[in-house]
Amino acid sequence: MDVVSRKTITVTVNGDSYEREVDARRLLIHFLRDDLDLTGSHIGCDTGNCGACSIVVDGVLVKSCMMLAIQADGATIETVEGMARDGELTTLQQSFSDHHALQCGYCTPGMLMSATALLRTNSHPSEDEIRKAIQGNICRCTGYINIVEAIKAAAG
């Protein structure tokens, strides 16, 4: 039986195309952080619980510690690095800043990506819908209230 241990993959991340050879067991979060040097997405658990590694792959919110890099071959990926352009924060990022929706900031990249995915499909979410959308993202600092407020304000 042939066992594939390495594979060359091509991905588009925040509009840039990358081709890399990766170990078949390499997690997507490690590929992004260590191979592409895109360290905005964080690792809080490696077990799919904290949401710090949340990104958007082909339009779908995923926890990148739960996906292999080779599964992303050919995919279009969005990470937090793709949000601000030329130093200009997006409305959502500015809202997080304005509403003090972060303290240590460790959860923030994942929160922003979850909120981005939510607002694309629901431009005026209720508080319940916002809380449901970020239920896979753990924040150990803020108590969530300001995060919910920030998302609500960005939607408005």
In angstroms, what is the minimal distance from the CB of 70 to ligand FES?
A: 18
In angstroms, what is the minimal distance from the CB of 112 to ligand FES?
A: 11
In angstroms, what is the minimal distance from the CB of 89 to ligand FES?
A: 17
- Beta-carbon contacts of residue 16 (< 8 Å; ≥ 6 apart): none
In angstroms, what is the minimal distance from the CB of 86 to ligand FES?
A: 26
Of 12 and 103, nearer to ligand FES (C-beta) is: 103
Of 5 and 47, nearer to ligand FES (C-beta) is: 47
Of 5 and 131, nearer to ligand FES (C-beta) is: 131
Of 59 and 105, nearer to ligand FES (C-beta) is: 105
Residues in contact with ligand FES by the rule CB under 6 A: 43-46, 48-53, 63, 65, 102-107, 139-142
Per residue, the 3-state secondary structure of the chain, as one string, reads CCCCCEEEEEEEECCEEEEEEEECCCEHHHHHHHHCCCCCCCCCCCCCCCCCCEEEECCEEEEHHHCEHHHHCCCEEECHHHCCECCECCHHHHHHHHCCCCCCCCCHHHHHHHHHHHHHHCCCCCHHHHHHHCCCCCCCCCCCHHHHHHHHHHHC
